[in-house]
Amino acid sequence: RARQEFRDDAPLEGALSAEERRVYERLYGPGFPVEVAGAGAAGAPPEEEAAGTGVLREGSDGGWDEIAFDEDGAMGRKQRKKRKGWVEEEEGQRLVEEIVFSDQIDEELARELREGQRRHAEEESAVEDDEDAPGERTHPLTAANRFGPSPSTLHLPKDAYVDPATLLLSGVPPKHLKDAAHRVLGGVGLPYSTSTPSIGRTLQQKPIALDASQSSMSDMDADVFISTLMPGMYASVLSVLAETRKRLGTAWAEALVEKAQHGQLRILDAGGAGAGVLAVRELLRAEWERMHDDESGAHGLESPRALAEADGKLGGESATPPLGSATVLTGSDTIRKRASQLLDNTTFIPRLPNYLDATDQEAREKGKFDVIVASHTLWPLQQDYIREVHTSNLWSLLDRGGGVLCLLEKGVGRGFEVIAGAREMLLETRISSPESRDRSIDITEKLDDDIEWEGPASDQSGTPRWEKEKGMIIAPCTNHTGCPMYVQKGFVKGRKDICHFEQRYIRPRFLQGVLGAKDKNFEDVKFSYLAVMRGRDLREQVANITEAANTTNPPTDAGTSTTTPVIQGKGATDAAFEGFATLPTPPSSLTLPRTILPPLKRRGHVILDLCTPSGTLERWTVPRSHGKQAYRDARKSRWGDLWALGAKSRVLRTVR
């Protein structure tokens, strides 16, 4: 307060005690001496001289007269008291202590602080990412187990979505589109869309207000769906498909391309109005281009997979990647008309087929899909048993020879709960695991008429059992036990720890206009997901690693690059804690822990929050002493990555 009162002048006598004056002079110096008595007119009382500041004004006789001038005035004094923390109470006035950092920080201490920060930055720069230095590159296991696509920021497909959608929306006034989106999706920030703005944290959690399966939708609502919801759905689905491709390997992706080239690939989008189909076809295009690049590099233009030239003289294949046959769930004509202008070779259906109640066995086996993407379809259902029936129906629509189902919801507490509930139901009643080969029959499930119970009558009165199907969880889990974050079942108010991930994408221009964004053209969409496979279990597969050993690139399909069956559980967690950096054979990605939060970077160590193959949440500490490579990769790790370089200490993490 003395510094604020006297500024650069020396404090008046009696204003400070001897000890306070010594501290003041040590911090700010002695200051400039001032005279208490001003140079006003002779005989002026001291109170008047001290009341204001002396100002000279030209008088009527041409001379200069000195007048008293109050710099602040009555209002200024009130505002100054307000700024300094003066408050009036019934007993009187008291001063509220306040700290003014800009004035009270010692310059010497500030210099020492800056010097310490500079030294710390120099120490950490030794382990920062330097792609040009051969000794500082990312470990192959870390690179192979990154989460999501590469590059990490997605650009929406210009030819397949951005340009056609822009043309569709060209006749809609931007203000009308913006007002409709804010009206339907919750106002500023669109909290009831795929977005999760900070303002939505204080609002009630609700599902997305528009559903592709709803039977009636106005033209403006359909435009809102195409412009506002499809970008986030596409980005999240493509991120899930990229992770699925990494876990299942190159062979699975190439098989999809081969089936698409022969017209046998079937895709179902049950909720995205075509966004899931666009994402699957983008995956096919990327894999198709990689296959042709590899063939062209190995065999030149003589390869049968070489692309045809414009004149048709060289090469053997068309320059158009295969699309596959797609089926899209659209309940209303308005959304169907718009989605049909974005998609080719696509069939639109108003509702999903129900194979659960089909009596004809041949009908049950027909019309199976290789890839099913169900985005934001579970949360709008009100009851848990309805969600279970819907999930079971989607499972029944999968091909028994390796069909893949991807379930997605918003990355909030309620979205995680419905995904975790679907996961629990599939593990209990559908997916066979080594520790659980049979299941309890659902109460709503029809039994065959020719079933004859064997054994004593006491056994017949028990709960009937039914053999599960072969299958597996692809991602994000690396365990087939109960979810460690879903200990409390169902809806839990205030749930803090949820399994969710994020994907950054570049917004198109029309979405920027809807949001009114001017300084940021990207968005991080958060989502919870589950990817499962029916009919195959890579944990039981014995694969050959000859191909991986002969290549110089890191293995991108670590889920199948092992010579022994995959073992999950406590043994896998202990092995991952020891680390695989020095082992000649890369581990299966199905045996690695996954980071569920961004890494906590501390001075000299990094803390990773992991979901382990044994089905527990643990916090691993990777210090610099654990190894330069592991420490560097831990600092550069990202949310959702699988971790293979071990740690030095670990503790169990309590679920909140």
What tens digit of pLDDT does each residue of 623-633 get? 998 888 889 98
What is the reported pLDDT for 102?
Answer: 42
What is the reported pLDDT for 541?
Answer: 61
- pTM exceeds 0.75, yes or no: no
CB atoms within 10 A of CB 390: 17
The mean of the pLDDT values for the chain is 77
pLDDT, tens only, 323-337: 889 999 998 999 999
Q: Does 540 have pLDDT greater than 90?
A: no
Residue 522, amino acid: F
Sign of CA dihedral 103, 107, 113, 118: positive
Residue 176, amino acid: H
Q: Does 276 have pLDDT greater than 80?
A: yes
Secondary structure of 305-323 in the HEC alphabet?
A: CCECCCCCCCCCECCCCCC
Strand 64-69, strand 153-155: pairing = unpaired
Q: Which two tokens stand for residue 640?
A: 């959702």
Q: Does 42 have pLDDT greater than 50?
A: no
Q: Which two tokens stand for residue 639?
A: 């949310």
* % the chain with pLDDT above 90: 32
Query: What is the C-alpha radius of gyration for the chain, rounded to an integer number of angstroms?
Result: 34
Are the CB atoms for 639 and 501 separated by under 8 Å?
yes
Cβ-Cβ contacts under 8 Å for 37 (sequence gap 6 or more): 46, 49
What is the reported pLDDT for 76?
Answer: 53
What is the reported pLDDT for 202?
Answer: 80
Half-sphere exposure of 555 (CA within 13 A, CB side): 24
Give residue for tokens 């299942």.
Answer: 248
Give the residue extent of every domain in the chain. 2-104, 153-199+206-441+464-534, 562-652
The domain made up of 562-652 has a fold known as OB fold (Dihydrolipoamide Acetyltransferase, E2P) (2.40.50)
Give residue for tokens 């590899």.
Answer: 294
Indicate the pLDDT class of residue 470, thresholds 50, 70 and 90: confident
- Give the pLDDT mean for 3-26: 71
What is the reported pLDDT for 542?
Answer: 40
60 burial (CB, 10 Å; 0-12 / 13-18 / 19+) is exposed
Give residue for tokens 């045809």.
Answer: 308
CA triple 316-322-325, angle to 5 deg? 145
